[in-house]
A and B are shown apart, each in its own frame.
Chain A
Amino acid sequence: MNFGAQQGPVEIATADIVAGLRGYRLPALLGWYDVKLRYRRSTLGPFWLTISMAVMIGAMALVFGQIFGQPLADFLPFLCAGLIVWGFIAAMLTEGCMSFISADYIIKELPLPLFSHILRVYFRNTLILLHNIIILPIVLLAFGKGFPLTSLLSLVGFVLVSLNLLWMALLTSVLCTRYRDMPPIISNVVQIGFYLTPIIWPPHLLPGRASLIVDLNPLAHIVAVVRDPLLGQMPTTLNWTVTFAIAIVGWAVTIVFYGSYKRRIAYWL
């Protein structure tokens, strides 16, 4: 360890992120225990996650399927995949921005790479996603639909989305640790994002010009690259391009920003 040597922000940030990724076992273990211990004393354990998600999907399908006049056989799988994917994205944004604040006792005690705390939140929510995704094949089977081959493509989408969520969590974590007014702002943005993103409403219901809401909404593209292949649809080239571009630009900005403030984070806690 050698502090005081002149290091640029990019160097500081990449060193921390690489060290965090190398030591992925610790955040994976912590994320695993986060889920495991939360449900330790309940019989069904983490499958309560699955059940509450399933109940929500069922209730919303009933109401919104009627409102939008959509056949349940199309609407339910759409809603199901959308809500599950959104649940993951929303949790990564709202919990992700609290990564440092909720790990303050560890940060002040152990010089772990700070990126580990972001990874912990990521692993925890990925595990929760895996519990929720079980619902989708059941819904597809119930409507006599097979498992679409394009689903494999959603894995590619998932990797791309993860890259995006990780930089978002890292960037907002730094901001939220410094400015304690940020977490409520972020949950507000996520809440609004839920309404502006085609999750409960199918995008084709939007009248002509309003489709800009979808095209200009980065979250719509991020959701699409994971959800659409699960439903047997190919995401559009625009979906892929936007998601990819946000990942590149986002990481570039985040690395410079994170590197500039990384060393101050412990003092802000």
Chain B
Amino acid sequence: MTSITLDKVIVDFPIYNSSHRSLRNALVQVATGGLIGEREDGRVVIRALDNINLSLADGDRLGIVGHNGSGKTTLLRVLSGVYHPPYGTVRVDGAVTALLNVSLGTDAEATGRENIRLRGAMLGMSARDIEKVTDEIAEFTELGNFLDVPVRAYSSGMQLRLTFAIATALRPEILLLDEWLSVGDEGFRAKAERRLNEMIESTRILVLASHSKELIARMCNRVLWLEHGRVRMDGDSATIVRSYFGASS
């Protein structure tokens, strides 16, 4: 069973300005005494997520909406295991893949084929898996011999094709997407959409953060509306899309 349960999750970001980030100050703090114990003293903390409760099961397609800075990406990072919340509990059963930054780890000096290998390995694919998907990626991207050329020589559209194809080669149980993966080229777009849909259909749980009304309405059966790190509304997508996009436009 794939499932996600968040219980009273709180995430605080300590903000270190230059004076707080230096060792000198910590030493002074210790040396002067009196300030020990006041943990919040003079330290700016941003509460990125405040008391989030969430439970997702097989078949859930959750959309996350909210303004910039409302905590969408932070929530995705909590779900992916990058951020360990200091308060509350997170339980995730199932293999998670987070595609927050599609071009992660793309090296301009490496060839297309090498980039497939590097990025594939980072996403946890074995050497054999990578070999298997390489041909499939080559075919899908239509890059042909370009795969043996350093990515530096690619057009931005070609780079996008490559990173998109690598990212969508996986079949995770839980997929976290920050914004829709889009591939510029008109002729290629339909093909890319189809591939992305295939990927999403095969995942058991999808969590998608997006600003697109049309996309959220089409892809999700449930929507979480975040505001200042809190859940403003949580419910079926039609209702939330109406209140969120109705309210903001």
Contact = CB atoms under 8 A, between A and B. Distances in A.
A29 B84 contact: no
Interface stretch (A108-116, A221-229, A248-256): A108-116
Given A1-B91, A29-B117, A33-B118, A182 B23 contact: yes
Contact of B122 (A2, A26, A180, A266): A26
A18 B19 CA distance: 36
A106 B110 CA distance: 17
B102 to A, nearest CB: 10
Contacts of A5: 89
B109 A26 contact: no
A98 B185 CA distance: 39
A1 B81 contact: yes
B22 A266 contact: no
Contacts of B135: none
B195 interface: no
Contact of B150 (A29, A40, A111): A40
B90 A1 contact: yes
Given A108-B82, A111-B80, A37 B105 contact: no
A181 B23 CA distance: 6
**Chain B residues touching A, majority SS:** mixed
A37 B115 CA distance: 11
B104 A33 contact: no
Interface stretch (B32-40, B93-101, B238-246): B93-101
Interface residues of B, number: 40
A31 to B, nearest CB: 12
A267 B90 CA distance: 17
Contacts of B118: 29-30, 33
Interface string A251-269: 0000000000001001110
Question: Which 8 pairs between the two chains have the least Cβ-Cβ distance?
Answer: A4-B89, A111-B81, A3-B90, A263-B84, A179-B23, A1-B92, A37-B109, A181-B22
Interface of B: 7, 13-14, 16, 21-24, 26, 77, 80-86, 88-93, 96, 98, 100-101, 104-105, 107, 109-110, 114, 117-118, 121-123, 127, 150
Given A25-B121, A109-B104, 11 more contacts: A1-B90, A3-B89, A40-B109, A106-B105, A109-B82, A110-B82, A110-B104, A180-B21, A181-B24, A267-B14, A267-B83
5 contacts: A29-B117, A33-B114, A33-B118, A108-B82, A179-B26
